[in-house]
Amino acid sequence: MVEFEGLIILEPAGKYTRHVLKVNKVYAVEKTPYQEIAFVEIEGFGKALVIDNFIQSTEADEHIYHELLVQPAMALHPKPEKVLIIGGGEGATLREVLKHSTVKRAVMVDIDRDVVEFSKKYLEVMHKGSFHDPRAEVVIMDGLVYVEKASERDFDVVILDLTDPYAGPAAKPLYSYEFYSKLKNIMKRDGVLVTQAGSSYFYTQEYLYVKENLSRAFKYIGEYWTWIPSFAVNVNFIIASDAYNPLELEPDEFDKRMRERGVKNVYIDGRRFKGLILVGVIYPRGFTPQ
**Mean pLDDT across the stretch 235-257?**
98
pLDDT digits (tens, 9 = 90+) for 6-25: 788 888 887 788 889 999 99
**The dihedral of CA 267, 13, 171, 42: what is its sign?**
negative
Residue 170: predicted pLDDT? 74
d(CA 60, CA 229): 9
Annotated binding-site residue? 190: no
> How confident is the prediction for the chain on average, in pLDDT?
93
Domain with CATH 3.40.50.150 in the chain: 62-279
For residue 109, pLDDT beyond 90: yes
User: 54 pLDDT band (50/70/90 cuts)?
Assistant: confident
- CB within 8 Å of 216: residues ≥ 6 apart: 177, 180
**Confidence band of 290 (pLDDT split at 50, 70, 90):** low
- Is 164 among the residues known to form the active site? no
Q: What is the mean pLDDT of residues 179-199?
A: 96
d(CA 100, CA 88): 18
User: What per-residue confidence (pLDDT) applies to 135?
Assistant: 98
Class of domain 8-58: mainly beta
169 is in an annotated binding site: yes
The architecture (CATH level 2) of 62-279 comes to 3-Layer(aba) Sandwich (3.40)
Residue 1's pLDDT band (cuts 50, 70, 90): very low
Interval 90-111 mean pLDDT: 97
The active-site residue out of 61, 112, 161, 164 is: 161
Domain boundaries for CATH 2.30.140.10 within the chain:
8-58
**Amino acid identity at 159:** I
110 marked ligand binding residue: yes
Over residues 25-52, the mean pLDDT reads: 93
With pLDDT > 90 as the criterion, what percentage of the chain qualifies?
Answer: 81
Query: Is 143 assigned a ligand-binding role in the annotation?
Result: yes
Given a cut of 50, is residue 118 above it in pLDDT? Answer: yes
Q: What is the pLDDT of residue 11?
A: 84
